[in-house]
Amino acid sequence: MQSSEKITPFDQAIQANDALPSDYTAWNADEKQRFLWHERILPSQYDRLPALKKIDVIGLFLTVLNAKMDCTSDEAPRHWKKAIHAHASVATIKFVPVPDMPFTGLFKGADYGLLRLSLTGKPDDRGFAPGLAVKFLIDGQPSANFSALVSLDGQGRNYNFFAHEFSNIVPVVNHLGPKLINLIFRRASRFPTKLDLQNLGAVDQNGRAEKAPHYPLRIFLVPNPSVQFVETPHDFRTDLATISPGTPLFSVYGVEPATGNDDVDRADYRQKAQLIGSIETTSEFVSSDYGDRRLFFRHQRFRSQ
| DSSP element (H, E) containing 148 | strand 141-149
Give the pairing type, strands 141-149 and 130-138: antiparallel
pLDDT of residue 8: 46
pLDDT of residue 273: 92
Domains identified in the chain, total number: 1
The verdict on residue 280 lying in a domain is yes
Instruction: Give tens-digit pLDDT for 231-269.
Output: 999 999 999 999 999 999 999 999 987 654 456 666 677
Considering the entire predicted model, what is its pTM?
Answer: 0.85
What residues of the chain score a pLDDT lower than 50? 1-6, 8-18, 61-62, 179-181, 183-188, 260-261, 305
Domain holding 286, by residue range, is 9-293
The verdict on residue 283 lying in a domain is yes
The verdict on residue 132 lying in a domain is yes
Say if CB 110 and CB 95 are below 8 A apart: yes
The verdict on residue 209 lying in a domain is yes
Give the pairing type, strands 110-119 and 141-149: unpaired
Instruction: Give tens-digit pLDDT for 289-298.
Output: 999 999 999 8
Say if CB 294 and CB 19 are below 8 A apart: yes
Task: Establish how many alpha carbons lie within 13 A of residue 294's alpha carbon, considering only the half-sphere containing its beta carbon.
Answer: 17
The verdict on residue 125 lying in a domain is yes
The verdict on residue 77 lying in a domain is yes
Distance from chain centroid for Cα 85? 11
The verdict on residue 298 lying in a domain is no
The verdict on residue 1 lying in a domain is no
